[in-house]
């Protein structure tokens, strides 16, 4: 397949591009800037001037959007929403002008769409939450792509991403830092659910969604065995041989992070029902094993 990846220069985008190329797919990166070597990349400006730049693409993965890992000021929240909706609208406008549209469009989203709960278990049939910023943002992001299937029988996948565990980026380097400094422990109550996914399984699942015609609609990109924050912290402590002893009260988290503390103190117990029903098999199903894998020396 020929696949265009917006946000392809980010952490997930880079890992996805590596996997797709290893599988023999042709990858085109959509970015704000041209690549230094002038190959394999098209810019948003180029797409705006000439939508035919996307001609011949069999699939598009839309990962573009301003990071949520920043203080959620009103200005920052507006930019998070603008960047996500604008990239989606630009891609739809380009697709509308193509004689042969792509057969599949994977729209990134987040498990934050479900809202937070310490008791509920969310699968793809669960309704969106209504109260917090991540759920509202995810609803708008997914809705922006809803007109795609009418533009030429395009298969639309809404890829709801959990907490990504990666060696260089994602949430894991942030989670392990206190343990490296001997200050790891429970955050808030520690009972909040952490629905995680190893970066390798994330990119495998993205490729699976691109190449399997029978999967569409919402797909939870989260490993089958969620853990509480306290359990995840203890797993990190065991792998790194560090103590898990220094609790951080919720009010202190609120003071330090503001509204963004919801990403740490809230939680969702999410299960990947759609992926497993479609036949996808996770390689990393237990949090401690996934962490040990990330800590193995490269090569």
pLDDT band at 299 (very low <50, low <70, confident <90, very high): low
> CA angle, corner 60, sides to 42 and 76, nearest 5?
75
**Length of the chain (residues):** 299
pLDDT in tens, 154-203: 999 999 999 999 998 888 988 999 999 999 999 999 999 999 999 999 99
Task: Give strand pairing partners of 30.
Answer: 6, 42
For residue 187, give both structure tokens: 């955050």
Q: Cα dihedral sign for 138, 205, 28, 53?
A: negative
Does position 117 have pLDDT exceeding 80, yes or no?
yes
What proportion of the chain, given as a percentage, has pLDDT over 70? Answer: 98
Average pLDDT, rounded, for the chain: 92
Please say whether the beta carbons of 204 and 159 come within 8 A.
no
pLDDT band at 31 (very low <50, low <70, confident <90, very high): confident
Per-residue pLDDT at 131: 77
Per-residue pLDDT at 36: 52
Nearest to 271 by CA among 111, 35, 115: 111
Given CATH 3.40.50.720, say whether it is the number of domain 2-295: yes
Give the 3-state secondary structure of the chain: CEEEEECCCCHHHHHHHHHHHHCCCEEEEEECCCCCCCCCEEEHHHHHHCHHHHCCCCEEEECCCCCCCCCCCHHHHHHHHHHHHHHHHHHHHHHHCCCCCCCEEEEEEEHHHHCCCCCCEECCCCCCCCCCHHHHHHHHHHHCCCCHHHHCCCEEEEEEECEEECCCCECHHHHHHHHHCCCCCCECCCCCEECEEEHHHHHHHHHHHHHCCCCCEEEEECCCCCEEHHHHHHHHHHHHCCCCCCCECHHHHHHHHHHHHHHHHCCCEECCHHHHHCCCCCCCCCHHHHHHHHHCCCC
pLDDT band at 39 (very low <50, low <70, confident <90, very high): low
Per-residue pLDDT at 75: 93
Per-residue pLDDT at 32: 82
pTM to 2 decimal places:
0.93
Domain-by-domain residue ranges, the chain?
Answer: 2-295
Average pLDDT (106-130) is 94
More confident residue, 131 or 198: 198
Average pLDDT (91-96) is 95
CB atoms within 10 A of CB 289: 14
pLDDT band at 297 (very low <50, low <70, confident <90, very high): confident
Please say whether the beta carbons of 126 and 158 come within 8 A.
no
Instruction: Give the Cα separation of 67 and 89 in Å (integer).
Output: 19
The residue behind tokens 């573009």 is 64
Per-residue pLDDT at 139: 95
pLDDT band at 123 (very low <50, low <70, confident <90, very high): very high
Per-residue pLDDT at 169: 85
56: left (phi over 0), alpha (psi -120 to 50) or beta: left
pLDDT in tens, 216-259: 999 999 999 999 999 999 999 999 999 999 998 888 888 877 88
Instruction: Give the Cα separation of 91 and 58 in Å (integer).
Output: 14
Instruction: Give the Cα separation of 91 and 154 in Å (integer).
Output: 13
Please say whether the beta carbons of 16 and 170 come within 8 A.
no
């Amino acid at each position: 397949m020929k696949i265009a990846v917006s946000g392809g220069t980010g952490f997930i985008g880079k890992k996805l591009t590596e996997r797709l190329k290893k599988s023999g797919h042709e990858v085109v990166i959509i970015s704000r800037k041209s690549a230094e070597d002038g190959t394999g990349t098209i810019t948003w400006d180029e797409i705006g001037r000439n939508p035919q730049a996307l001609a011949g693409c069999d699939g598009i993965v839309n990962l573009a959007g301003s990071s949520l890992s920043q203080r959620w000021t009103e200005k920052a929240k507006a930019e998070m929403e603008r960047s996500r909706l604008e990239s989606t609208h630009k891609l739809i406008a380009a697709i509308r002008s193509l004689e042969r549209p792509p057969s599949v469009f994977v729209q990134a989203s987040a498990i934050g769409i479900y809202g937070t709960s310490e008791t509920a278990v969310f699968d793809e049939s669960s309704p969106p939450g209504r109260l917090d910023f991540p759920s509202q943002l995810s609803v708008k992001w997914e809705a922006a792509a809803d007109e795609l299937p009418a533009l030429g029988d395009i298969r639309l996948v809404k890829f709801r991403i959990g907490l990504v565990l990666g060696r260089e980026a994602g949430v894991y380097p942030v989670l392990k830092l206190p343990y490296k400094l001997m200050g790891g422990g429970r955050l808030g109550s520690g009972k909040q659910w952490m629905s995680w996914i190893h970066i390798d399984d994330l990119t495998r699942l993205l490729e699976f969604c691109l190449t399997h015609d029978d999967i569409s609609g919402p797909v939870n990109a989260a490993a089958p065995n969620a853990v509480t924050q306290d359990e995840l912290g203890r797993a990190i402590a065991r792998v790194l041989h560090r103590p898990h002893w220094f609790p951080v009260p919720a009010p202190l988290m609120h003071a330090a992070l503001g509204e963004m503390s919801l990403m740490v103190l809230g939680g969702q117990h999410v299960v990947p029902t759609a992926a497993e029903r479609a036949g996808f098999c996770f390689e990393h199903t237990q949090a401690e094993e996934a962490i040990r894998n990330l800590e193995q020396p490269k090569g």
